Structure 1
Amino acid sequence: MSRVRFRAPFINTSSLIEHQFLQYDPDYDEQKAVRDPQLVAMETTLGDLEKQGKEMMVSRQHYFEAKWFEEYTAHFQRFDKLRGIFQRSLKNTDQPDQLEQAPDGSWGRFLHLFFLKLDQTVDAINDLSDDEPPVSPKYPLSFMSRLNDPQVRDRYIKQLLVSDIAETGVNNRDALNAVASGLAQFCFKNRLKKYIRNYTTGFDLTDEYVASYKELMDWWQDEITGYWGAWYKTDMGIVHTQDLSITYHMIAYIHKAKTLPINHWPQIIATTFAIKQRPYPYGWMHDGHMNDHNNYDVAKIFKYGWDEMTDGQREQARTEIQEMLDYCLNVSWSDETGFKGDPTFYNSLSSAYYFAISFLCTVGYFSKEARFWTDRDFPGAEEFRQKILAKMDELGMDDRIAEAARERLAGC
């Protein structure tokens, strides 16, 4: 496989992907234009029910699967079928607040796609590893057995790495992110690694496994941009992309390991500045404006790379962080409605709160000790913390993500 052909700085990545879908299906744009508002309506419906205090975890899993087919494939008939299943699931508004582990070992009882099962399982194990005393899950993680052999694992990830959309009608980017990031959490977050080794069966997380996974991540990282991202087979050759979300995940989880190096910091920093105006996930913007989720990713990269920056880069980062902070406090938030819940981006209103809070905690808005980029004081911070909590209570936000947001807000 060729390592270098063309890189996304020289092309519009989003347009390239759309062009590839049109090669697969000339009616792709028209088909997607019909489904886009349907997907937004699904998220809006879920959000409205959850605001009423309804637990909709089963419907959420049906939504996750439908969303992937709508956003990452040209197989819209599959989306239509899953949308019908989702709509029928809404008849039951007394769904469990937390889904139990399925016999295959995953927390994806209502999902069929492996990477979505893995994504939900990573979230569940993160929660379990926080329990005191820790409790083993009911079933072995047998659905992950396909990843036990590092050679098989690497072959699977490399298959996800290169999408041939014109041939298959599938963009693997989201699946790649879920699998690579999920395994990175298991391998590099010491708390999770310890829990998996001591309290689960079915997945062999040895030191050799972890070391070989780091080698794969180092191979994947682009030595010119410093970024990780999906690759696309095109008429021009293999195009490498710079993906903000995937890169943030790799940096954040490798950093958790404490002892493992993150390579190519000068390139990472330069690329992060350079992609500001590009659309997510290849830049900071969503529909032409900032977004608390993307700002959180950027702020984390700046924080972890602060000691690697030149004085000029730190000054530039200070300016960017202040702009992101102003957006969070004055645009994303309003005293009347709270943080914006954008159904074209977030899976839930709770997610919007979680990432806004995470951004504020990362830049040290509530804690001077965490304020790596400035010596400024923020005298209104504690009052704003209480406003956020009051708004969450007013909206009846009590799902798992909302509780994680509350815990994060209380701890920073």
Structure 2
Amino acid sequence: MTRFILHAWVRFLAMAAVLSVLHAKAQPAPMSRGESRSVFGYDTTKDFLAFDPQYLEKRRQYTGELRELQLELARQTAAGRATPCSRQIFLEARWLSYSAQWQRIERRLHDLREMLARPADPADARDQVEVDGSYDHCSEAWFLKLDSTLEELEDRASRGEGPKYPLQLLDRINSPEKLRSYLDSILVSDIRHTGIDNRFELNIAITAIERLIQGELGDVYPFDPRLKQALLEYEDEYWQNPETGYWGTWYKQENGELRKTSDLSVTFHIISYRHNNLKRVPEMINTTLAFKDLEYPYGWLEEGKKSNHHNYAVVRLFRICWPSMSEDQRELARTEMRQMIKFCLTETLNADGSFKLMDEDTVGSSYMFPVELLDETGYFRKSRRFWTDESLPGSMEVAKRVAAKIQLAGLTDTESRKALRRLQDAQREARRRSVAGALEIVVLIGIGYLTIRFFRRRREPVLPN
């Protein structure tokens, strides 16, 4: 009965979303985060309070301290300091802020405060670690080391570089049994007994695992040949919600039952590297449209407002699901993407080419997600404009301005570099199109000239010998 109700609710909300645009009806006020979780997700607050009755007060204290350090990290990064180690410590502290492991949070906050007080991060903070093959010197959690390693592999591959040492940290998942065991260990969160919400680790880990096993970064590790099929079977036959088409964390409730969530970010990361072998695509697009006015991660909004980060995930879903979408769904998607572009350019882009630090973690991500969004919509590159043939003027001026700001600020982190590569790709495509357009004009002029000459010669009288 519960599955039937959820399925009906998804279809109702998806249809309501389409009709609201087609008939221009006023939208109701967005639901709160807690209310949205009653439909597609789960509100963990009561479980954390069961683990620690002082949870809310302590979390407020530590997240406040973390926010102050985040702003200081952003200030130093914007001033030109390379912050790979500081960023790694910050992300670990941020992960721990989703738990009630207070001593661990306090220790990592202390480490971050101490690191930011130094004149510079360690000079070797981005070098590969010989003992495990990772590119992470300052995190403690395995999945965070994996995440840093993934980013460095991608960044170095763009420069034609590969790892110097074997990626031994991947040994942990290099068999179907090891992979399933690890995913099982983080899929279910039993917060009442552990004080830890596994969602953050699950999201980060599945992203890296998906990209590496699917070969998105090339042959960087000798994976067990059975691993790819094992991953697909786990995702499709065990993990994916058949009613929503989504993936997400499973939460163990007070009565022992599991609450299986439908998470925008987790789903985005899985489908991004699965290419065309997805299942339950109609359910997936219905869910995406159904929770457009709900709170992330079980909707598009961040505290009731748009987000470049979340919008990027939605556009990727639109792109992948586009062949399976109805025309009404496509029209809604077109309307939303136009609004996303407008929001990004008018409410988050600064005059100097930087972006406002909104719900992004770092200065690098404040560039990366808006740039990825604009690139995914085809704003920068016509070749990626899957949803419309209309022109989007001004894109190259924006691309040049943002690229110039990244270079002027001396940002060298992996996220800023990724954004810069996207912008440079866009500029190269624009130049190619410009050259191709000029050549086309020259060819047409040449054809016209030869045609005129041909007909003129035919009209000329033939003189007798």
Tell me what 1:224 maps to: 243
Structure 2 counterpart SS, 1:180: helix
Partner of 1:31: 58
Q: Which residue number in structure 1 is paired with residue 197 of structure 2?
A: 171
- The correspondence of residues 240-259 of structure 1 with structure 2, limited to 5 A, is 240-255=260-275
1:210–1:129 distance in 2 versus 1, CA, 3 Å? farther
Q: How does 1:165-314 map to 2 (within 5 A)?
A: 165-190=191-216, 192=217, 194-196=218-220, 200=221, 204-219=222-237, 220-236=239-255, 237-255=257-275, 261-314=277-330
Kindly provide the amino acid, as one letter, of the partner of residue 36 in structure 1.
Answer: T
Work out whether residues 65 and 111 of structure 1, in 8 Å CA contact, stay in contact via their aligned partners in 2. Answer: yes
Equivalence map 1:9-408=2 (5 Å): 11=38, 16-70=43-97, 72-95=98-121, 96=123, 99-102=126-129, 103-132=131-160, 134-135=161-162, 137-190=163-216, 192=217, 194-196=218-220, 200=221, 204-219=222-237, 220-236=239-255, 237-255=257-275, 261-335=277-351, 338-342=354-358, 345-408=359-422
User: Contact 1:269–1:305 at 8 Å: present in 2 too?
Assistant: yes
Q: CA deviation at 1:49?
A: 0.8
Does the CA-based 8 Å contact 1:150-1:209 persist in structure 2?
yes
Aligned length: 393
Offset of residue 113 of structure 1: 0.8
Q: Is the partner of 2:387 in helix, strand or coil?
A: coil
Residue 10 of structure 1 deviates from its aligned partner by 7.3
CA distance in 1, matches of 2:4, 2:259: 6
Give the structure, 1 or 2, with the largest relative contact order (CA under 8 Å, sep 6 or more).
2
Alpha-carbon displacement from aligned partner over 1:25-76 (angstroms, at most 9, x marks no partner): 1111111111122111111111111111111212222212111111x20112
Larger Cα Rg: Structure 1 or Structure 2?
2
Q: TM-score, normalised on structure 1? A: 0.90
Q: What RMSD over aligned residues (CA atoms) do the two structures have, in Å? A: 2.2
Runs of 4+ in 1 over 6 A off after TM superposition: 3-10
Assess if the C-alpha contact under 8 Å between 1:4 and 1:238 holds in 2.
Answer: no
Task: Please report how far the alpha carbon of residue 176 of structure 1 lies from its aligned counterpart in structure 2 after TM superposition.
Answer: 1.0
Say which is worse superposed, 151-160 or 297-306, in terms of deviation: 151-160
Classify 1:5/1:368 alpha carbon distance in 2 versus 1 (closer, same or farther; 3 Å).
Answer: closer
| Structure 1: runs of 5+ lacking an equivalent | none
Amino acid across the alignment from 1:224: E
**What secondary structure, in the 3-state scheme, does the structure 1 residue paired with 2:133 have?**
coil
CA distance in 2, matches of 1:16, 1:400: 33
Q: CA 1:34/1:399 → structure 2, altered by over 3 Å: closer, same or farther?
A: same
1:296 deviates by: 0.5
Are the structure 2 counterparts of residues 37 and 404 from structure 1 closer, same or farther at C-alpha, using a change threshold of 3 Å? same
> 2:65 & 2:378 partners in 1: Cα distance?
38
Conserved in 2, the CA contact under 8 Å of 1:4 and 1:240?
no
Measure how far apart 1:222 and its partner are.
1.0
Report Cα offsets for 1:200-224 as digits up to 9, x if no partner: 4xxx413321111111111211111
Counterparts of 1:267 and 1:306, CA distance in 2: 13
Structure 2: 5+ residue runs without aligned partners? 7-34, 427-465
CA deviation after TM superposition for structure 1 residue 333, in Å: 1.5
Amino acid at match of 1:170: I
Change (3 A) 1:98 1:108: closer
DSSP 3-state at the match of 1:90: helix
Conserved 8 A contact 1:5-1:239 = no
Q: Which moved more, 1:169-178 or 1:391-400?
A: 391-400
1:386 to partner: Cα distance:
2.1
Q: Shift in Å at residue 9 of structure 1?
A: 7.1
CA deviation after TM superposition for structure 1 residue 295, in Å: 0.5
Matches of 2:206 and 2:407, distance apart in 1: 35
Alpha-carbon contact 2:175-2:224 (below 8 Å) kept: no
